Amino acid sequence: MKPLTDCRLYAFVDSAYLHGRTPADLTQQLCDGGADLIQLRAKDWPEEKIRQTAETLLPITRAAGIHLVVNDHWQLACDLGAEICHLGQEDYFESSEERQAASHQPTLGLSTHAPEQAIRAMATNAAYLAIGPIFPTPTKLGRPGVTLDYVRWAAANVVRPWFAIGGITLENVDSVLEAGARRICVVSAILNAPDVARACQQFHKHLASVPLQKS
């Protein structure tokens, strides 16, 4: 699989944006479009449904050489042997004993919403950080955008791979890249597109316009 340091486009299979499509079909389209990471995010699903869905997605992502990220459910990611688990800071800092007891240890990703949270996250073993939400987004209702100032701060201070996230579209992605981001997470702008694979390819074209500095 591609090393995390080389990953630039982080895509999602989000239960809120299936629009009648199956998670497996969406995953294949994301793989075909060149997504480097794919997160299964299902805030409104019971854990057993997430487990069953992840079991169907792992063969697809592994055949494509793409990491599957399980959102929120650390023990589930351990049980499935998923490559990566993404947690919010509260989830991470409040359940460390359970993670230490797990036999399989997925790679960890952490959300951050401000510089002080990023600094705290950099003191952990998280392999990457999510920086955002940059712009207001339906996936984080009620949370204001942290603005491009946080992207500029991250570009100057975060010393491991990080992904800008939140409200990123083809119309504003260049401003995010100009602020210093080299890796991005995109949810609705890809999943709401009429052609998911092509949307991934379009974001990759923008990413290719800026050099990747491996942090």
Q: Which residues are catalytic?
A: 41, 111, 140
62: CB partners within 8 A, 6+ apart: 68
Judged by phi (left if over 0) then psi (alpha if -120 to 50, else beta), residue 65 lies in left
CA–CA dist 148, 133 (Å, integer) = 10
Judged by phi (left if over 0) then psi (alpha if -120 to 50, else beta), residue 61 lies in alpha
CA–CA dist 15, 22 (Å, integer) = 10
- The single residue listed with the structure tokens 């004993």 is 97
Q: Buried (b) or exposed (e) across 117-148, using 16+ Cβ within 10 A?
A: bbeebbeeebebbbbbbbbebebbeeeeebeb
- Phi first, then psi, for residue 112 (nearest 5°) are -140, 145
